[in-house]
Structure 1
């Protein structure tokens, strides 16, 4: 089902993209115009002051009129910039909305295909078969558990304990032997049993007492 969610190839530049690019280009040109004329305004102001100092009032007034006209133009460009920025945002947001709608449409189509592959009848059939298999296994378990006698259960328990003991034994380390470690000296095995040794001591004591009495 991987092909259901495969991404579509990237689309080419749309008319909306071209419009946004054109608006941004115009915006940048207006900003350059503003920056250039803001520097001119300050120069004209300083020049008008110098003309007044030199007694050239008419020329100073003419220069101030020019300065006023440029200021009005700059105010107009501020409004134009505001409109352009709003237009760019509107177009970009509309493009996002289109992408959202396309994604929802594609997701809806994929969901429909999945639902067609897994219809209600198939799901119900699979659930029924699974339930039957569970019930059958339960019946087998009950038959097996009922077929064993108490003696059989005891033997099963003994075998289980033997397996557990064998598993524990395998996990414990083996005790070292003299053959594996020559340095370990084992005690000698006594030749007589403890009871026989006591009897011999008692016999020797009786013989000694008899000799002393004679």
Structure 2
């Protein structure tokens, strides 16, 4: 029984769209009727003017009465159009609100389904596990980056013995060099140095301090003056080109 008055759920869902379509079509029909009445008003106005020109006032008055009748109908049509447009705007706005509410409900339902398997305790546990794994990864990285043989694990006694052996070898080499130099010095009758070998000095040639003579100095000055004259010629040439561009 209620379906007879209000329709099925599917029909109720399509009702706003159908109402919007019907209202728009009826508004278009009234606009066409309004345009036709405006044409009739203009025609009656022209006929009244023609009758006055011909001196027939009675016909002119008849045309003016028809014009007033058409104007009255036109005003009523305009009122109807205004009412229908207001109703159309209200239905469209209400339908938009309904669709927005449906979208929000769907979004809320989706969020509810997403959060159905989640709670704060599970989130906290997951975050703790992540932190533990991050710390473990850092410890593993530090362990991998450590050298395989630590400096502290080296045998200090072994290092001391190797150092003494190295010093002994150096002393033996120095003594052998001193003995060979002493023998060479005794052969030539010159005193030999005790522990070191003197390096022969190398005399470097000194830089001559020569002053330029008169012709060379004059030649240098001439080249400098020629360069200055060339720079002045370039400046004058650039100035002349600029004056030519400016029309001076």
Q: Greater RCO between the two (CA within 8 Å, min separation 6)?
A: 1
| Stretch of structure 1 that moved more, 119-128 or 32-41 | 119-128
Equivalent residue number for residue 32 of structure 2: 32
In structure 2, C-alpha distance between the alignment counterparts of 1:20 and 1:143, rounded to whole Å: 74
Give the 3 Å change call, closer, same or farther, for CA 130–77 of structure 1 in structure 2: same
Q: Give the Cα–Cα distance (whole angstroms) in 2 for the partners of residues 143 and 51 of structure 1.
A: 114
Please name the residue that 1:84 is paired with.
Answer: 84
**TM value normalised by structure 1:** 0.58
Once the two structures are superposed, what CA deviation does each residue of 1:134-171 show, in whole Å capped at 9, x if it has no partner? 33344445556387412899xxxxxxxxxxxxxxxxxx
Q: Which residue of 2 aligns with 1:126?
A: 126
C-alpha distance in 1 between matches for 2:39 and 2:84: 24
Rounded to whole Å, the distance in 2 between the matches of 1:147 and 1:140 is 14
Structure-2 residue corresponding to 1:190:
none
Q: Which residue of 1 is the match for residue 207 of structure 2?
A: none
Segments of structure 2 that go 5 or more residues without pairing to the other structure are 1-9, 155-248
Partners in 1 of 2:50 and 2:141 — Cα distance?
A: 112
**CA 49–121 in structure 1, closer or farther in 2 if over 3 Å, else same:** same
Please give the root-mean-square deviation of Cα atoms over the aligned residues, in Å.
Answer: 2.8
1:126: Cα distance to partner? 1.5
2:19 is equivalent to residue 19 of structure 1: yes
1:65-93 CA-to-partner distances (Å, cap 9, x unmatched) read 11011112112222222222221111111
Matched residue count = 143
Q: Deviations over 1:86-117 (max 9, x none)?
A: 21111111111111111111101111111113
- The equivalent of 1:108 in structure 2 is 108
Structure label with greater radius of gyration: 2
User: When the two structures are superposed, what TM-score results if normalisation uses the length of structure 2?
Assistant: 0.51
SS in 1 for 2:130: helix
Residue ranges of structure 1 left out of the alignment (5+ in a row): 1-10, 154-214
Correspondence for 2:49: 49
Mapped to 2, the partners of 1:132 and 1:71 lie a distance apart of 87
